[in-house]
Amino acid sequence: MAAIIDLSGKVAVVTGGTRGVGAGITRALLEAGAQVVTCARRPPDKPVEAAGRTARFLPADLRDPEAVGGFFEQVRSEYGRLDTLVNNAGGTPFRMLGEGGAGQHARVVELNLVAPLTASLAAYEGMRRQRGGGSIVMIGSVSGTRPSPGTAAYGAAKAGLENLARSMAVEWAPRVRVNTLVLGMVRTELSHLHYGDEDGIAAVGRTVPLGRLAEPADIGDACVFLASDRAAYISGAALHVHGGGERPAFLDAATANH
């Protein structure tokens, strides 16, 4: 991606950018030439590196508005600007609705919807005043586009996040572009917890039209595009990065061609 898109001189923040999908996004931005700052509650075991360059890590609890505000003030103070925010931090345990109390489900919504809103508001304060404005990318999920049993609060939050991005895109135009990447299944260091061994991961991959799970680099390349001037007229969009989606169950159940 760096060969066709040059983000040299740009500054990007990737929340939760130290492992999994977030690390893939961080590496792609580094490869494209951007200076990248990552944040999470705990520091990574090792720094994220790519193209001979290293992302900087700053600790921040994204559920603490005061801490978030301080984090973005530090970024602006030390780097002079912020061009791209990727709201990647999130996640959820598997929990059926009846097995958890309202407070547990609310914390999932807080992490996956309220925290990106808080970060976006803090980033916007600087982006709207700087030459060239900025770009915000929400990391959404197909869980927000279909029923999400076992992760219902997460799916509801991701649906809300996509709608929030559309509203931000209207309110904050033309200074700041806001888009969503709607992710399907991604192969990370934790994939075995969800899909089992290599045979299980391969079997799950075969359910995807493109025949495999996404790699974190696939998500990173899409983020680089949305952050760049090549996407200068793209705002309020939801780009589905899911390998073609999910094969409809009725096709496998139908007997006409059996």
Which residue numbers are catalytic?
Answer: 154
145-170: burial string, b at 16+ Cβ within 10 Å, e else = beebeebbbbbbbbbbbbebbbebbe
Give the three-state DSSP class for 63: coil
Classify strands 176-183 and 11-15 as parallel, antiparallel or unpaired: unpaired
- The radius of gyration computed from the CA coordinates of the chain, to the nearest angstrom, equals 18
Cite the beta strand spans of 158-219 per DSSP E: 176-183
CA torsion, ordered 63, 17, 199, 244, to nearest 10 deg? 90
State how far Cα 75 lies from the chain centre.
19
CA 232/CA 171 separation, integer angstroms: 17
CA 231/CA 173 separation, integer angstroms: 14
| Tokens read off for 40 | 């999470």
| Tokens read off for 144 | 């927000």
- In the chain, the amino acid numbered 7 is L
Count of alpha carbons within 13 angstroms of residue 124, beta-carbon side: 20
Classify strands 53-54 and 49-50 as parallel, antiparallel or unpaired: antiparallel
54: β partners: 49
